Chains A and B, each alone.
Chain A
Amino acid sequence: MEERSRIVLLAVAVRIAIAPFFMHAGDVGTIYESSIMTLKGLNIYDFVYARTMQIQNATGLPVFFEGYAYHPLLIYFFVPFYWLFTLIAGPGPVMIDGHYPAVPLLIYPWTPLMLLMLKVPIILADAFVVYLLAGIDARKAQIYAFCPYVIFISAVWGMFDALVAVFLLASYLVSSRTNLLSGVFYGLSLMKLYTAVLLPLYIYRLFGKWRALTEFLAGLAFTLLPVFYFLAASPNSIWNVLVTFQGARLMGGVNLYNFIWVVQDLTFDLIVSMIPNIILVAALIWLIPKLSRSAPLLESMLTVMLVYFLLGKVMNEQFLVAIFPLMLLCRECDHRLWIFPFTFVFLRSPFYYFALPILWASPVFYSYYLEADVVWRDLQAAGYLQMPMYAVGVAFSLAILWNLLRVLETTPAGTIMGSDAFGSFSQSPILSTARKIRSLLSRFGISRVRYASYASDPQRSMTSQR
């Protein structure tokens, strides 16, 4: 068997072996519940919006129900597998409730099968990533295939950032050949809305190349058709769920902003949560024009995503999966960055929370769960967990900064790293002199003079896009 197929099959086997026995109840519950509603032809955004209105009425606070708040296309990746599951197990409930703060009631023996079926799209996405990476570098494919963090997020947690990862990777890989497909894949990567920060970069790079830009936007618009449909069918619901909720979300996660979880004042927290938005927008407005249109796309994409992860207000544990394949392709990035969000997972959620499908299978295991939960809640109430969570969040932000600075050095934006800050590379007097010297030397047949201030070769990317 060829190496590429062997790695893919092993990656799939490992995930299938784990998938039926673990889950993040809240996130898997959302997909399960949304699959049921979609099969029944119900509007998932109307459901989430109604629950939000209910909570806001009960509390008088700007609290949102955390249900399905993703691109409408996402659920159609899961629905066929849920439908297959119902052919075997019937339409009866298998997971009852599970939205925070409740824990779900699980029905056996169907729970493991349901978990496996709902994780199949995620496992397939991982398999495609491994396949694509293996075509470039088998070693990098192995890293993605067997990285404990990636396996945990996909097969244990049941979170679908691997879908974002595969479409983002595909968008990057095909961008040099077809802008239409690149646009389609980019549009599909918007299943989690954080990749929206890349849109200005794509548009900036294609600006002036009108045909290429039109093709890209056509591809993107095609994937947005379901959004337009829901905007026409129930504008209030989808706007509230996708824009108001995501836009007015409380900051925090594996980042420097999770101190806000200590401040128990929702109105104040929401106001403070605007700070990262302002800083992020300012950073992107400054940065994107600095990333030259001819700069390698990989490094440019990573720069923008790393800036978002560094300064953006929400950085959930699983987000890094989305750019993990791109990081593996970039020489300047240190992929061991995953250690931080992986550590954070176990500080934020108790390890046994992911094992509910096992613990719920027996009254004896359930009693162990209750005992462990008392200890965990005591640690949480005393604030012992918030301290390492904050430390890991800050450390992760700084590790992102370190990677960002390294990636920046390979881009034209980074060529000013060695000169005065915020100065334009092309306007630098030193470089201008260097250009004159090069021009002079070239007349004498000496054509290759390196820019002294280039920190590194901008074409170092393994799969640079020209």
Chain B
Amino acid sequence: MKLKSKLTAFMAVYIIALSFVPFVHDTLLAQERWIGYGIGAYQYLNQHYFVLFNEPYDGSSKPHIQVNPDFAPAARISLLEFSDWTSWVNDHNLFNEFNATARTGQRALDITYSRPEIVLHKFIEVSQDAVKVTFTSEKEFGAHVEVWRWVMTSINGLSIRDVPNPLVIQPTNRIDFTFEDERLQSTGRGSIIMSSVPSQLKIWPHEKGFNRITIDFVNSEMSFMVSGSMEAVGTPAPPWSYTLLPYVLPVIAIFVVALYLLVDKYGRTFKNRALGSSG
């Protein structure tokens, strides 16, 4: 075989082989561990949940918990988002007024928020059943935590028709909510179980539903066990999602390489014919 053919064959194999890297990673390595990426974000994926903890420059999605529906595993449906932008501890904003560092442990993602007078940890643990977000400190602290979803159709049995204005609801350690997903034509259910009853719970209506729940508590530790599921109502079309890219890239690689080989082989022949050359 000529060197040119060997080099071309090597490149073709090299390109196609490497195009499978995302697929291999997605299938074998991406599951059930905290993975850091980008400019400092973390993600965790298992069969039921995808959890994103955003990069240090962004106060949203701290974390953002998403559900992978059984009937559409590639779809990630937003379940609940904790926001540091709109959460306070001892009247100090978690995003702007604390120094935050992230580290991965054996099971949990550990976010340390520090100020001269207090050090606070936020642990995020993911299991097949739920995502547990725990705030803990050696000292007692007063917290105002906001969790968001656009939008919840009902919270603890209350719908937008019952609550046209922000409403303080009966303190409880369990919040149940429902939501809908138009793209998948399905409904979802979610729940938040807190380790103790907060001092205040408030729900905020927004257009077609509720978009946030504010939780105030005073304690040295508070955990939020978040779980959710989706039920198919109609017959949704298989959705396109970013998560399908690892399956598509090898197809693109094979197509482009095949095109190159065809042009390399026949392109010159056509050109030579046109030029009347036999070479």
**Which A residues lie at the B interface, using CB under 8 A?**
55, 57-61, 63, 100-102, 256-257, 259-260, 262-269, 272, 275, 279, 310, 381-383, 386-387, 390-391, 394-395, 397-398, 401-402, 405, 416-422
Contacts and interface: CB of A to CB of B under 8 A. Distances in A.
Contact of A387 (B6, B26, B41, B245): B245
B185 to A, nearest CB: 18
Interface of B: 1-4, 6-8, 11, 14-15, 18-19, 21-22, 25-26, 29-30, 35-41, 43, 55-58, 100-104, 240-242, 244-246, 248-249, 252-253, 255-257, 260, 264
Given A58-B56, A265-B25, A418-B2, 15 more contacts: A55-B40, A59-B101, A60-B101, A101-B39, A265-B37, A383-B241, A387-B248, A391-B255, A391-B256, A395-B260, A398-B257, A405-B8, A417-B3, A417-B4, A421-B2
Contacts of B22: 259-260, 262-263
A60 B100 CA distance: 11
Q: Summarize A's interface: helix, strand, loop or mixed.
A: helix
A100 B103 CA distance: 23
B3 A257 contact: no
6 contacts: A59-B55, A259-B21, A263-B22, A267-B35, A383-B245, A419-B2
Q: What 5 pairs between A and B have smallest CB-CB spacing?
A: A59-B40, A264-B37, A383-B242, A421-B3, A61-B36
A256 B21 CA distance: 12
Given A58-B40, A100-B39, A401-B11, A272 B21 contact: yes
Nearest to B19: A259
The main secondary structure of chain B at its interface with chain A is helix
A297 to B, nearest CB: 22
Contacts of A422: 3
A102 B38 contact: no
Given A266-B36, A383-B245, A391-B256, A58 B102 contact: yes
Contacts of B104: 60
A460 to B, nearest CB: 16
Contacts of B37: 264-266, 269
A101 B15 CA distance: 31
Contact of B29 (A63, A265, A383, A405): A265
Nearest to B6: A421
Nearest to A59: B40
A60 B36 contact: yes
A398 B104 CA distance: 40
Contacts of A268: 25, 29, 35
Contacts of A398: 11, 15, 256-257, 260
A263 B255 CA distance: 21
B242 A59 contact: no
B232 to A, nearest CB: 21
B264 A402 contact: yes
A397 B252 CA distance: 14
Given A61-B36, A61-B40, A421-B6, A262 B244 contact: no
A165 B259 CA distance: 32
B128 to A, nearest CB: 21
